Amino acid sequence: MREKKRVDDDWKRRAAEEKAKIASQLDPGAGPAGAQGSSAQGSSVEGASVEGARVAGDSAGDANAPPASAGGVPTDPIFIRLISTLGGQAMMALGLAEDPHTGERFLDLDLARQSIDMLGSLELRSRGNTSAEENQLLTDVLHQLRLSYTQRVQQAKQSALDPSSPTQPGSAGPAA
């Protein structure tokens, strides 16, 4: 004997109720009447339900969200990677790291300055919106890069004034 499939006919009603509940959480004045209006209103409720789920996920501690630091702001791995990328670019431009494509070191003070300025702008614009870990990394990277940049500029000035002096140990030599 063939089993009969059980069909859940009230799924549309339950979905509409859930949308109305989420919409009312987002806008307490909306109420369930707004969710069962015309189809044009239904599309806005659908958008609200997606946003409502996102808001509810944020407040409940989304499983995919980065871990929160002691300051309450979650550490974002993408932000950490951005700091590392810009810092690495500046280090290569200062001759402190090899270019991964060529394996050579080069000195490009303009590129280094641009990278350091971008990190400085990032620090300024993100102040108060970073975790303690992000803030510490950005502060440390900027400090080290600014010191290295100042040293390289002084070395470049000195070698320009006295072209017969050999390049100092650890310097990258002439700009490429």
Phi, psi of 39 (to 5 degrees): -70, -30
**Could you tell me if 91 and 136 lie in one domain?**
yes
Give the pLDDT of residue 68. 52
**Could you tell me if 92 and 139 lie in one domain?**
yes
Give the pLDDT of residue 17. 80
Show the domain range for 101: 77-161
Q: How many domains does the chain have?
A: 2
Average pLDDT over residues 138-149: 97
- The pTM for the full model equals 0.55
Above 50 in pLDDT, residue 51?
A: no
Between 30 and 85, name the one with better pLDDT.
85
Alpha helices, DSSP H, located in the chain: 11-26, 31-35, 39-60, 77-93, 109-126, 132-161
- Out of 128-132, 154-158, 161-165, pick the least confident: 161-165
Average pLDDT over residues 133-146: 96
Above 60 in pLDDT, residue 41?
A: no
**Could you tell me if 81 and 55 lie in one domain?**
no
**Could you tell me if 54 and 95 lie in one domain?**
no
Q: Is residue 26 part of a domain?
A: yes
Q: Is residue 67 part of a domain?
A: no
Question: Which of 136, 2, 93 has its CA nearest to residue 85?
Answer: 93
Q: Is residue 5 part of a domain?
A: no
Tokens read off for 86: 């810009």
Average pLDDT, the chain: 74
**Could you tell me if 89 and 147 lie in one domain?**
yes
Phi, psi of 105 (to 5 degrees): -100, 145
Between 9 and 131, name the one with better pLDDT.
131
**Could you tell me if 84 and 153 lie in one domain?**
yes
Above 80 in pLDDT, residue 37?
A: no
